[in-house]
A and B are shown apart, each in its own frame.
Chain A
Amino acid sequence: MSETKKFVYMNRKAPYGTVYALESLEVVLIGAAFEQEVQLVFVDDGVYQLTKNQSTDGIGMKNFSKTYSALGDYDVNQIYIDEQSLKDRGLTMDDLQELTYEDEDDDWAEKSSMKLVNREQLAELIGNADVLLNF
């Protein structure tokens, strides 16, 4: 029962146009309380969730992009970005916000949570998951 499982969240939708991105983020935050191993994957339009400088004043919706920077506090620090998805959309890692965590085992040094992956590595992430959650 107390065995740790690997939860992989697949995020494939842009924010705001549909509710998937926000729902995923809420499930991740709630799920973090169960202290399982959590990996977030951003692929296809999911990469738009992490863009810098989102400003939602004009569309009258809550800007939940700020919440991604709290993920480190929740020990969610394995965040994978699909390289091909960025490329297809004219984006690079520089367009995304920097997500970090403080490593408890390394005197709370601040480290990046983000890793760019290719499709082979993505296949591996999916293949190694105990639980796959899709949004």
Chain B
Amino acid sequence: MSTLHTVNKSPFERSSLDTCLSVVSNDSTVLLIEDGVAGALQNTTASSSITDAMGNGVKFAVLGEDLGARGLSADRVMDGISVVDYAGFVQLAADHDNVQSWL
């Protein structure tokens, strides 16, 4: 069963992303939304745990609208994280068997 994990909390403030990454399987995707998009930027204290998960085959995406609202441009996003729009969000939800929201 593939799962789409959405994380909407900043990794610098809450443990949502860490917990998510500790249980995520390699057929799953982690989508960063709302304040969670902060984790997608290069060279942050969250970068290494995302890189590790990528190494294990976990896919990553980030919602472009939420990046833009926070003044964070797509070219600052870590390699390997794809920037999606709302339609892409819907597509990801449809492509996975289930959605786990780390609220």
Cα(A57)–Cα(B65), bound, Å: 8
Residues of B within 8 A of A88 (CB): 12, 44-45
Residue in B34, B35, B43, B76 whose Cβ sees the most chain A Cβ within 10 Å? B35
Given the complex, which residues of B lie within 8 Å of A56, measured CB to CB?
Answer: 68-69
Please tell me the size bucket of the interface on A.
20 to 34
What is the minimal beta-carbon distance from B8 to any residue of chain A, in angstroms?
7
Residues of A within 8 A of B (CB): 13-18, 44-45, 48, 51-59, 61, 63, 65, 88-91, 95
Q: B75: CB under 8 A from chain A?
A: no
Main secondary structure of the interface of A (DSSP, over half): loop
Near A by CB (< 8 A), chain B positions 32-89 give 34-35, 38, 41-45, 47, 64-66, 68-73, 76, 85-86
Q: What is the CB-to-nearest-CB distance from A101 to chain B, in angstroms, rounded to a whole number?
A: 22
Interface range, B side: 20 to 34
Inter-subunit contact B35/A17 (CB<8 Å): yes
CB–CB A45/B69 < 8 A? no
Contact of B35 among A14, A51, A54, A95 (CB under 8 A): A14
Q: How far is the CA of A15 from the CA of B45 in the complex (A)?
A: 20
Q: Decide: B34 and A16 in contact? CB cutoff 8 A.
A: yes
Q: Which residues of A contact B28 (CB under 8 A)?
A: none
Query: Which partner residue on chain A sits nearest B35 by CB separation?
Result: A17
